[in-house]
Structure 1
Amino acid sequence: MSDKDITRDTNRGSGPDISRRAFTRVAFTVAVASATTVIGGRGFASTEEEALANDFVPDSQDTPMLLRRISSLKMRKWEDYFDSLNNDAILCDTNDRVLHYWGADGFYRVYPTSVPLSEEMTRRGRTSVTLKRPDPDWRPTASMLKRNPALPPYVEPGPDNPLGIRALNLSWPAYRIHGTNDIRKIGRQSSSGCIGLFNEHILEVYGRAAVGTPVLLI
């Protein structure tokens, strides 16, 4: 056997050269996949390829409660809900607690969301984006004040604003897709009707959506 053959055999036996960072990422992905299997195939996802490591937010540093915030990993086809993607398309699934975003350029993401507190507050059907608000302020509706008179009458943009850092107004009055500064709400029945996302996710959705983008809530 030549020196070249020995070198070839040695390299073959050593396997692929995986960096520590890549190995850690693979190990974490496997761990997340195992956890998802344990809880019945449900968890957080933003792409078809991997579970979102950055989207898991424990209730506290000591006692993470994944089961209290669950969003479905199920992928969907835009053709089942929309006629075209000429102006992109957004599907909000209040049962799975996720938002699907399809772009005309082939972009597709699934984001975990908050959903309305009750069936009475849940609205379903077709609507569209009517206004993009880069630094939203917030005023509670009359029904919100009736349920909770202690709510402030106005909240300016900033870390205390319940709409987070971006908001997309829909054609239905007082209904929005928006961010949130209270990350505990994501994956839960926790809103008064709106669909809430992590701030980093609403940035992406906001950046792609346009006035007129069709939205379907199911």
Structure 2
Amino acid sequence: MTPSSALFRRSSRAANALVFAASLLVTPIALSASAGAQSLGYAPVRQSAFPSDAALTPEARDAEAGVLPERLRRAVVQFATSEAAGTVIIDTGNTALYYVLGQGRAIRYGVGVGREGFTWSGVQSISRKAEWPDWYPPAEMIKRQPYLPRFIAGGPGNPLGARAMYLGSSEYRIHGTNDPSTIGKFVSSGCIRMTNEDVTDLFGRVNVGTKVVVLPKNAPVLARGSDTRTTISVRPAPPRPQAAATTLPSGQQAIRLNVSSVN
């Protein structure tokens, strides 16, 4: 072996040793970074994966802002009915309440109504009005949900909201809500709920004794009256309900105390 060959071999072994040592230094760092990312449960995400505000639909933006859809907003609409001016008509199937103005017009409000098994229909009258009412869960409701409080004082946190109009001697009411996102839905135990702004407006228009007609959920389809060009035909008021119609129906369903199905 020549001196030059031995020198070359020693140089190669030294270079290989340096490469191996460098790999020992780099590998733990890379492994540590990878393990850290995995332990935190994230992975690199491209910025374009997040939607911009422009990508949201108008309906989605309204929902985020708590704005009701057009069909649930208070509006004066054309409304053909044989009921007298001052009557309240509730279209359960379309989650709408109409205050009859007369001369073919009515004020339409969006409402929340009874969930499955808790809707009802018939004719009642307003027997009492209350501002920022206290809430005493009825015995039937406590029987279904024993964990409910027996009393909640009136105020912004009360499920009955800013105003309540009691219907006859039943447990049903037209009232406000502390969760306007439930308007337009079938969520209550039979009461008719409105936004606090809308229930305050209606409260100022009706009196004790005002007639309230509640149409069944499966009533013939009615036009929804999105503007004053729409005509809505309402059939004559049905006869007064039987006793069962004014009794809270039975059922075992869990509820959320502050909003969804307490009334």
Q: Shorter-chain-normalised TM-score: which range?
A: 0.5 to 0.7
Residue 143 of structure 1 deviates from its aligned partner by 2.3
Residue 114 of structure 1 deviates from its aligned partner by 0.4
**Aligned counterpart, 1:99:** 97
DSSP-derived class of the 1:102 partner:
strand
Residue 137 of structure 1 deviates from its aligned partner by 0.5
Q: CA RMSD in A?
A: 3.2
8 A Cα contact 1:126 1:215, kept in partner: yes
Percentage identity across aligned positions?
A: 35
- 1:139-184 deviation line (CA, Å, top 9, x unaligned): 1112222332221110000111111010001114111101111112
CA distance, structure 1, for counterparts of residue 211 and residue 122 of structure 2: 11
**Aligned counterpart, 1:147:** 144
Higher relative contact order (CA 8 A, sep 6+): 2
The AA in structure 1 aligned to 2:111 is: T
Unaligned runs of 5+ in 2: 1-56, 216-263
8 A Cα contact 1:70 1:187, kept in partner: no
Residues 140 and 211 from structure 1, CA distance in 2 versus in 1: closer, same or farther, beyond 3 angstroms? same
How do 1:1-218 residues align onto structure 2 when only pairs under 5 Å count?
Answer: 58=63, 60=64, 71=72, 77-80=79-82, 82=83, 84-85=84-85, 88-103=86-101, 108-118=106-116, 120-218=117-215
8 A Cα contact 2:121 2:214, kept in partner: yes
8 A Cα contact 2:81 2:104, kept in partner: no
8 A Cα contact 1:133 1:166, kept in partner: yes
Unaligned runs of 5+ in 1: 1-33, 37-55
**Aligned counterpart, 1:44:** none
Larger radius of gyration: 2
TM-score between the two structures when normalised by the length of structure 1: 0.62
